[in-house]
Structure 1
């Protein structure tokens, strides 16, 4: 059986990213872009994370994340703070400026989600997201086993 799930997810991701950027632009939000929004999102959910934790939660490559954090720090969105228990590790924390952007991010996300889930019932959304979690878990397991 030929499957195209990965290809479809890739197309959806590209279109959803373009839609998110368009909504940001329409609303005049230029304090962050879509990829930075992913980082902000995980920090809004659990402030004070290590780079390793952000990599795991966003699935961004470590090298990509480092450059993005540099830019976000220059923009006044995050600060790097030495870990109090492990001085070799750095923690990432939000600034007040970043905290003030959460409502705008949530509004853009809700608008983008309305497009994403148009025509879906709540039950279909839950089923879909559970299947996506299973796929993500499959990849996490494969990575743990060196695949």
Structure 2
């Protein structure tokens, strides 16, 4: 309940790489900057992110997670693990590994 699905995509990217530009986030999330603007404002109001002007390029705004957002990662990982166990139910470890390798190849081609 702390965040919705689209916000989860944003948080996931920032958990991997905190302090990135809005443009980089847009590319990594696959969301248009126009869509991100409203969502980032909402997330900032919720205390999940903070925006900081880049010291090296004043035109860029960098996004950082707050302590509150960092604290949500454990819950996110727990839910993600639970969903993974449901998704992969009945698959062997070898099948899961092979499938994830295929997904990685697909992602690299996007």
State TM-score, norm by structure 2. 0.90
For 2:75 and 2:107, how far apart are their aligned partners in 1? 28
Tell me, yes or no, if structure 1 residue 96 matches structure 2 residue 88. no
How far apart are residue 99 of structure 1 and its match? 1.1
Aligned pair partner of 1:41 in 5, 8, 12: 12
RMSD: 1.4
How many residue pairs match? The answer is 110
Q: Whose Rg is larger?
A: 1
Unaligned runs of 5+ in 1: 1-29, 141-147
Unpaired runs of 5+ residues, structure 2, are none
Alpha-carbon separation, structure 1, partners of 2:27 and 2:97? 23
Q: TM-score, normalised by structure 1?
A: 0.69
Superposed displacement of residue 86, structure 1:
0.5
Partner of 1:128: 99
Query: Over residues 36-71 of structure 1, what are the superposed CA-to-partner deviations in whole Å (9 max), with x where a residue is unaligned?
Result: 111111111211111122122222222222221111
Question: What's the counterpart of residue 113 of structure 1?
Answer: 84
